[in-house]
Amino acid sequence: MSKEISDGDLMDVAADPEQARRLHKALRTLAGNPNVTGPLKDMAREVLNGRLGMREALDSDAWRGAVGDRMAELRRIDQQMTPEERAAVRERAERWFEQQEQQQEEERDQPDTREGRHGHDAAPADPRDIPPAYRPPTRRD
């Protein structure tokens, strides 16, 4: 992979630096998630590598189609879930959001020393760290 864009490169579509940081993190999650395939993953990688601008990606029919396809897939998964599975997903989502808040607080207190990076937005190493809305429940959850 060539040099990755920074949070600042996303300021043309972000309202503030925090939103740019979250967008950067989301792109890294999409690009690194083994459960995301096809155009959505490809476009996230293209934006991260600087070969495609975020605004250009958002305006493209391919991006909208890929997001729409993923949303339809998530809707199908949701419709097939039992009430118990929904409750487990809800609980997992609540834990994930709590972890994200805690992580953001910790990250604000620690300056990043890596060159050319704004840090705080490394992709999750474990697929179970991916937000529940982006993946179906597994037996390990």
pTM for this predicted structure: 0.62
Q: Torsion angle, CA of 10/128/67/3, rounded to 10 degrees?
A: 30
Q: What is the pLDDT of residue 121?
A: 46
Give tens-digit pLDDT for 26-59: 999 989 988 888 888 999 999 999 999 999 988 8
Max Cα distance, the chain (Å): 47
Q: What is the pLDDT of residue 83?
A: 93
**Which residue stretches of the chain have pLDDT < 70?**
1-2, 111-141
Distance CA 106, CA 19 (A): 17
Q: What is the pLDDT of residue 133?
A: 52
Structure tokens of 113?
A: 């020393």
Structure tokens of 22?
A: 């979250």
Q: What is the pLDDT of residue 124?
A: 47
Q: What is the pLDDT of residue 113?
A: 52
Q: What is the pLDDT of residue 120?
A: 45
